[in-house]
Structures are given as structure tokens and as C-alpha cells.
Amino acid sequence: MPTAFNRSLAVVVTGGIASGKTTVTNGFLELGVPVFDADAIARELVAPGQPALAEIGAAFGPDLLTSDGGLDRRRMREHIFGDDAARRRLEAILHPRVREALQARARACAVPYCLLAIPLFAESPRTAYDWTDRVLVVDVARAVQLARLMQRDGMTEDDAQRALAAQATRAQRLALADDVIDNTGAIDALPRIVARLHARYLALASRLRA
């Protein structure tokens, strides 16, 4: 759905864990496209002194805070891993704030289009991002995700399977896609794919402004 408030096209980039989203967004960054990252915003929101951090401390207790008053992200990940109720409680605190910040940054974007890196886009309510224009899914097979998680993050196979099970399925993500990058191939193919999408988004942005 085209944005009513913004002449800049807002393109969501999403994909499952270990699909290579960062590699893809880095390719767009090299072309001068702004990338607003939901995970980076979430980290900003849990910096010492932020209201979200105070709310997290009240909900989960001071044991999940560091000595300097920040969020102990490792302990929080361990705390919510496999605990759906705790994960939903944390998301209820952070996700509305993340969405608000992403929308504000997209609204302020003064170039033809911007990217919004949102790993949990498929898990969000459909109305949460109805102000965005297009969805780019970075896709890999589940077996590739498993192998990357075990190699990159040192996970056991059981832990990697649980991490994947906590996310939307590949089919659910692909059902939302306007564009798809198959990221199972050689990394040297990505610049050409990104360049083609860049040209497409510039053309779409031009029509939107018109």
C-alpha cells in the first residue's frame, strides 16, 4: 500500500534467521540507499535511561540488567528462549516502539526509497506495517539455515531447530513477498541481483512521486 505521508518508497527487507539479510542490505547501502534496521533500533531502545528499559526491568526484574544499567542481552535471550509467554511480554514492550521509530525514519527519508530491515515482519500483525510499500524476502532453504546457525553461531542442531521453530515458516514469509532473493547461491551473484532491484525500486519510487 503506498504511503500517504511520504514521497519515499518504503521497502521492507525480511527473511529467516541466517538467511543473509545483512549481506543483502549492505549491498543496497553501497548504492547509497538508507537502511533502517529494526534490531539496531531495539538496541537503542534498551540503552540506559530509556523508558523501554525501565519497563523491561519492571517486567522481568533487575537481574536482567547489566552493572551499568543497560540490558544484558545474552541473559535476556536465554530467559526468553523456549518461553513463549516471556518472549511475547518483551515484544509487547519493544515492538510498538520499534514500529513507531521505523515509521518516523521512513517519513523523514528524503531519497527515492529506503529499506526497512525487519526480521520479524512475517510475525507482526498485518496492520502493523500497512504504511510500507513493498516486501523483499531474502530466502534460503531450511537446511541452509540450520547449517549456517550451527557453523556461524556454534548452535547444536537441537538449538538451531528450536530457533527456527520460533519464527514464521518459509512459506509464510514468501506469501508476503513482492520480490524474492534466493540467497543460497554464490555471494558474488548478489551485486547483480541488488542492482536489478535497485533499478526497479527507483522506477517504482518515480511513479509513486508522480
Confidence (pLDDT) at 4: 41
What superfamily does domain 1-34+112-210 belong to in CATH?
Answer: P-loop containing nucleotide triphosphate hydrolases (3.40.50.300)
Confidence (pLDDT) at 109: 93
DSSP secondary structure of 22-82: HHHHHHHHHTT--EEEHHHHHHHHTSTT-HHHHHHHHHH-GGGB-TTSSB-HHHHHHHHTT
Q: Is 127 helix (H, G, I), strand (E, B) or coil?
A: coil
Confidence (pLDDT) at 82: 75
For the chain, give every domain's residue range: 1-34+112-210, 42-108
- Helix (DSSP H) and strand (DSSP E) numbers for the chain: 9, 5
Confidence (pLDDT) at 113: 97
* Rounded-to-integer distance, Cα 197 and Cα 192, Å: 9
Cell of 6: 511520504
pLDDT one digit per residue (tens) for the chain, 210 residues = 344 444 699 999 999 999 999 999 999 999 999 999 999 999 999 999 999 999 999 999 988 988 888 899 889 988 887 788 998 999 999 999 999 999 999 999 999 999 999 999 999 998 999 999 999 999 999 999 999 999 988 999 998 998 899 899 999 999 999 999 999 877 888 999 999 999 999 999 999 876
Confidence (pLDDT) at 30: 97
User: 3-state SS of the chain: helix, strand, coil percent to 5?
Assistant: 55, 15, 35
Q: Are 129 and 118 in contact (CB under 8 A)?
A: yes
